């Protein structure tokens, strides 16, 4: 089965009804479409609410743009001093090598810039300029390769970039953000894994996974190849309506990640990307889910629930909060809530 890249292919293969074709063509004209076989195989075409289809099959609802939605919801552009670099926090930068992904998520916060015909891949000259920028700023401790999806690049190109980054003395940590292990697990060959594992500098791989079904046997094997090679795996998930917004699904997802040696890192609140209102939840739903996880799952399975503040102000944890200050005049008295919802004074009343 090929990767489906057009609205026509999506309808022809039964992932959307034919009468939606004109609307889906309008969606595909604006936002890139790619549904690779590894994910298409997971979709139950008879389930109108299939959580895999909701994430990857274009939907006419994407034409509904809300006033509060932003073309650059997390403010990358405001922090891009040279092509390919986003420098939002003092000690780390994003390095965007390519605008191409193995799959195009319908809620992507970079949907206006990812895909063929959007931004161009970083040229050799632009990459050298980006590396010069990093080299000349000793406060940059970590470089995060993001995208597009860096793991769509060849092992040769990745090896070259990783080696050049690792050679910068003050860069101590490298991180790669990717969806390839679930979208195209066969790409994670031993050669590609060797290419991203550089000597002397730890490499973290943050995997974007939103539903436990994405962790197929092939995806688990790809994760195992990375973990066995000494790469540290982190999980990033986006909270999505109808995909993972129930305690059962979210618990299953977090446990599945940990079983694959992927430490849940962030649960992102859905960004205000254009045409994604049908997939966003409210923050109260996210906080209730986090409380449900706290009550029933190991500490290893707890992500931090974060909001990327629109406008480029960075991420903030958004609760829920278990601690409330009581008393007055600066007395350090608190009430802390346990995982059963019971409240306790701290320090305890003597």
Give contact residues for ligand SF4 (rule: CB under 6 A): 101, 104-105, 108, 110, 114, 147-149, 179, 208
Q: Is 143 within 8 Å of 166 (Cβ atoms)?
A: no
Give the shortest CB-147-to-ligand SF4 separation in angstroms: 5
Q: Which of 11, 101, 223, 301 is catalytic?
A: 101
Interacting residues of 278 by C-beta distance below 8 A, sequence separation 6+: 59, 61, 62, 64, 241
- 207 close to 181: Cβ distance less than 8 angstroms: yes
- The answer to whether 223 is a known catalytic residue is no
Antiparallel, parallel or unpaired: β 315-317 and 323-326:
unpaired
**Given 54, 59, 76, 108, which residue is catalytic?**
108
Catalytic (active site) residue 30:
no
Nearest CB to ligand SF4, comparing residues 55 and 251: 55
If the CB atoms of residues 76 and 149 are measured against ligand SF4, the closer one turns out to be 149
CA distances from 334 to 33, 103, 325, 345 (A): 51, 47, 4, 6
3-state secondary structure of 157: helix
Q: Is 108 a known active-site residue? A: yes
88 tagged catalytic: yes
Nearer to ligand SF4, 72 or 201 (CB): 72
Exactly one of 110, 111, 201, 213 is catalytic; name it. Answer: 110
Minimum distance, C-beta of residue 112 to ligand SF4, in the bound complex (Å) = 11
Of 89, 204, 265, 322, the active-site residue reads 89
75: left (phi over 0), alpha (psi -120 to 50) or beta: left
Task: Please report how close the Cβ of residue 114 comes to ligand SF4 at its closest, in angstroms.
Answer: 5
Residue closer to ligand SF4, measured from CB, 4 or 104: 104
Q: Which of 271, 280, 301, 305 is catalytic?
A: 271
Q: What angle, rounded to 10 degrees, do the helices at 124-135 and 155-166 form?
A: 20
Q: Considering 5, 30, 92, 137, which one is annotated as catalytic?
A: 92
What are 271's two structure tokens?
Answer: 């960004």
What phi, psi does 180 have (nearest 5°)?
Answer: -60, -40
Query: Exposed/middle/buried for 155, CB within 10 Å: 0-12, 13-18, 19+?
Result: middle
**What DSSP letter does each residue of 192-204 carry, written as one string?**
HHHHH--TTS-EE
Residue number, 63 or 166, with CB nearest to ligand SF4: 63
Q: Is 175 a catalytic residue?
A: no
Residue 76 beta carbon to ligand SF4: minimum distance, rounded to whole angstroms: 11
Among this protein's residues, is 89 annotated catalytic? yes
Q: How far is the CB of 33 from ligand SF4 (least distance, A)?
A: 10
- Residue 101 Cβ vs ligand SF4, minimum distance, rounded to whole Å: 3
Nearer to ligand SF4, 179 or 255 (CB): 179
SS3 78: helix
Q: Which residues are catalytic?
A: 88-89, 92, 101, 105, 108, 110, 271, 308, 315
């Amino acid at each position: 089965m090929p990767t489906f890249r057009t609205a026509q292919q999506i309808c022809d293969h039964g992932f959307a009804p034919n009468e939606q074709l004109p609307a889906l063509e309008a969606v595909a004209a604006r936002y890139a479409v790619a549904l690779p076989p590894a994910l298409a195989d997971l979709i139950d075409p008879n389930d109108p609410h299939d959580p895999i289809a909701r994430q990857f099959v274009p939907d006419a609802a994407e034409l509904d743009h809300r006033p509060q939605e932003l073309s650059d919801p997390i403010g990358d552009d405001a922090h891009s001093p040279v092509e390919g670099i986003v420098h939002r926090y003092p000690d780390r930068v994003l390095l965007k090598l390519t605008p191409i992904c193995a799959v195009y998520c319908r809620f992507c916060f970079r949907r206006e810039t990812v895909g063929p015909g959007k931004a161009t891949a970083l040229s050799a000259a632009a990459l050298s300029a980006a590396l010069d920028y990093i080299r000349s700023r000793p406060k940059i401790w970590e470089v995060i390769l993001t995208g597009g999806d860096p793991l769509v690049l060849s092992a040769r190109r990745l090896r070259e970039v990783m080696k050049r980054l690792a050679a910068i003395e003050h860069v101590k940590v490298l991180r790669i953000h990717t969806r390839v292990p679930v979208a195209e697990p066969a790409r994670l060959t031993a050669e590609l894994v060797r290419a991203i594992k550089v000597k002397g500098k730890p490499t973290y791989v943050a995997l974007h996974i939103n539903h436990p079904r994405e962790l197929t046997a092939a995806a688990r094997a790809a994760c195992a190849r990375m973990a066995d090679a000494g790469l540290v795996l982190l999980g990033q998930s986006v909270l999505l309506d109808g995909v993972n917004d129930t305690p059962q699904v979210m618990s299953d997802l977090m446990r599945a990640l940990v079983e694959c040696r992927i430490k849940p890192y962030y649960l992102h609140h859905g960004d205000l990307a254009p045409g994604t209102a049908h997939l966003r939840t409210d923050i109260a739903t996210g906080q209730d889910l986090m409380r449900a996880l706290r009550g029933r799952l190991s500490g290893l399975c707890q992500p931090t629930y974060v909001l990327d503040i629109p406008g480029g102000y960075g991420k903030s944890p958004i609760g829920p909060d278990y601690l409330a200050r009581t008393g007055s005049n600066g007395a350090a008295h608190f009430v802390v809530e346990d995982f059963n919802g019971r409240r306790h004074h701290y320090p305890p009343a003597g």
